Amino acid sequence: MRLLSQLAIGEHAIISAIEAEESLYHRLSALGFRVGKTLSIMRRANFNGPLHVRLGTTDVILRDTEAARIHVQNDSLANKP
């Protein structure tokens, strides 16, 4: 079990839990962050800038503060090189 903010670039993972207050939870779920969904890390901006995450057909950027609210587990199928 890790946090979204700890993933490396190019890694795939499955969302296992979202810890957020109601308004943030709604925002995240409306953008596609739901438990069980697969996501991948596209890139991170320099100087510890935001993360660029892809969920299905949607690309989202978010700061570490928000990414640390999302728990993920390894996606064993997708992480094969």
The token duo for 44 is 């991170």
The token duo for 35 is 């438990």
Single residue of 2, 16, 18, 32 touching another protein by CB under 8 A: 32
Single residue of 48, 76, 80, 81 touching another protein by CB under 8 A: 48
Task: Give least dist CB 73 to another protein, A.
Answer: 18
Q: Is 81 in the site for another protein (CB under 8 A)?
A: no
Q: Which residue has the tokens 């969904």?
A: 37
**Three-class secondary structure of residue 6 per DSSP:** helix
Pairwise CA distance, residues 56 & 36, whole Å: 12
Residues engaged in binding another protein (CB under 8 A) = 22-24, 26-32, 42-43, 45-50, 52, 56-63, 65-66
